[in-house]
Amino acid sequence: MPHALPRPLRAVLLDIDGTILDTREFIFAAFEHAFLHHRLPPPPREELSRHVGQRELHHIYSGFAEEFAAAMTELHRDFQAANLELAVPYPGAEGVLSRLTRAGLRLAAVTSRSVRTSARTLELNGLAGYFATVVSAEDVQRLKPHPEPLLAALERMGHPPEAAVMVGDTAADMEAGRAAGLFTVAATYGFQGPGVLDSAPDAAIGAIGELPRLLGL
């Protein structure tokens, strides 16, 4: 049964990749770099999209021997650290974040990406100042779809789940939000496209600019 939009609403949790930032090239090119470095054919981007947000490095590289998988992962992360400019905000993202904070809401970015690049991509795009906290892969034991990252963000901000919403573009985001007891908003413009609606979110947006109106702002 869908949750009702929290009233009063105190906090908004947002995924980074595919929700705040358009990171298709940032993520896909990193995978391709790691594979091509070893003269291996990279998986199709459509396949890669299905793994974004769900321990993507583990899913894609786990088929290799442990030592080789670790080397592939390091190549992936090195590429991203050297190419942060490939992660760019979706049109209107900063205006939306500004509007939410001016309305008195506290924001958290919750990502399965490494701390090595997560906060930095927000900083380089002038968005870090809108967030009360950023929860990255190294901050928790279990990533989305487990609710731990969302609950960690709420604990840091001092807000209960019933006063918050989760906005994300993948099934992992929706499952984590539901498990944590949050109102869930699917971003159908992200990595999984309209397919994220199969996860039965409480609401959906086709562009980040639609979020304030959905929240009644």
Q: Are residues 148 and 115 in the same domain?
A: yes
Number of domains the chain contains: 2
Domain annotation covers residue 6: no
Tokens of 95: 């205006």
> Model confidence over 150-204: pLDDT tens digits?
999 999 999 999 999 999 999 999 999 999 999 999 999 999 999 999 999 999 9
At 36-61, the pLDDT tens digits run 998 888 888 887 777 675 555 555 66
Q: Is residue 4 part of a domain?
A: no
- The whole-number pLDDT of residue 85 equals 96
Domain residues for 36?
24-86
Name the residue with higher pLDDT: 68 or 147: 147
Whether residue 3 is contained in a domain is answered as no
- Verify that 117 and 207 share a domain, yes or no: yes
Residue ending a domain, among 60, 86, 112, is 86
Q: Print the SS3 string covering the chain.
A: CCCCCCCCCCEEEECCECCCEECHHHHHHHHHHHHHHCCCCCCCHHHHHCCCCCCHHHHHHCCCCHHHHHHHHHHHHHHHHHCHHHCEECCCHHHHHHHHHHCCCEEEEECCCCCCCHHHHHHHCCCHHHCCEEECHHHCCCCCCCCHHHHHHHHHHCCCHHHEEEEECCHHHHHHHHHHCCEEEEECCCCCHHHHHHHCCCEEECCHHHHHHHCCC
